[in-house]
Amino acid sequence: MKLKTDLTGQIAVVAGGASGIGASCAKSIAANGAHVVILDLNLDGANAIAAEIKAAGGKAEGRQLDVTNEDAVKKSVASILADHKKIEILVNAVGVTGPTGVPSHELSLDDYRKTFEINFYSAISLQSAVMPQMLEHGYGRIMQIASIAGKEGNPNMGPYASTKAALIGHVKSSAKEVASKGVTINSVAPAVVRSPINDNTAPEVLAYMISRIPMGRIGEPEEVGDLVAFVVSPAASFTTGFVFDLTGGRATY
């Protein structure tokens, strides 16, 4: 029996889609037929990924958005709905590492607040903005990109690990709220993946994360994108509130 992964005719929003994991998610989702709206603070990057998708025969567009601005998030989603009438898929790949290589007790509350603004509060804003129309149509797929750091913790990455743990908790609780209404909310917890987010990660922290992976290598963004494309498709209809493992064997739970 053929998998029900065809996304033709669906509108997908990928926040943080100008590079790294977000860009790969956008490409994989578009390759399965969806029209992808790429949201990113980096408009040139978003347009570049959209151009790559269109050159490959897909449908995509780039739009600029500061996800830490709740009003801007609402206006952006309203604009997409005005143009496309619906949003079936939301993938949130927005994220920063925050301070790394520093013990938690040496960080200030502001170090945590800044990371939470980008990694966690924006995720709530995005999800809340698309939810009403998903409930109205009785269908929706939401994917929040979390991290293995949110499940196991990584030393000297306190703000990042804390935001991802919070995100996983939000996914699990909010998914139960809409489980009977046609909307699924899931997350994926990658180990370290080849992505610009790690450009500023302290070398000793990066080495630690790689040493924890039984496969002995880092993940590729395409591996995340392909898994996400499956989870946000009609094929993954009976899974919600779940954290998908993508760690090369580091976590098997």
Clarify whether 160 is annotated catalytic: yes
Cβ burial of 247 (10 Å; 0-12, 13-18, 19+) is buried
Convert the pLDDT of each residue in 206-251 to its tens digit.
888 889 899 988 899 999 999 999 999 999 999 999 999 999 999 8
Q: Look at residue 55 in the predicted model and tell me its pLDDT.
A: 98
Instruction: Kindly state the percentage of the chain with pLDDT values over 70.
Output: 100
- Is pLDDT above 80 for 252? no
Sign for the pseudo-dihedral over CA of 171, 40, 226, 253: negative
List alpha helices for 184-220, DSSP H: 203-211
User: Which residues, 6 or more positions from 106, have their beta carbon under 8 angstroms from its beta carbon?
Assistant: none
Q: Which pLDDT band holds residue 135 (cuts at 50, 70, 90)?
A: very high
Instruction: Kindly state the percentage of the chain with pLDDT values over 90.
Output: 88
The whole-model pTM stands at 0.94
Cβ burial of 116 (10 Å; 0-12, 13-18, 19+) is middle
63 membership: H or E segment, kind and range: strand 59-64
How many angstroms separate the CA atoms of 144 and 111, rounded? 22
From 112, 121, 160, 208, the catalytic residue: 160
Convert the pLDDT of each residue in 23-73 to its tens digit.
999 999 999 999 999 999 999 999 999 999 999 999 999 999 999 999 999
- Is pLDDT above 90 for 2? no
Given a contact cutoff of 8 angstroms between Cβ atoms, the answer to whether 211 and 236 are in contact is no
Burial 6-43 (b: 16+ CB within 10 A, else e): ebeebbbbbbbbbbbbbbbbbbbbbbbbbbbbbbbbbe
DSSP 10: -
Q: Domains of the chain (ranges plus CATH)?
A: 11-246 (3.40.50.720)
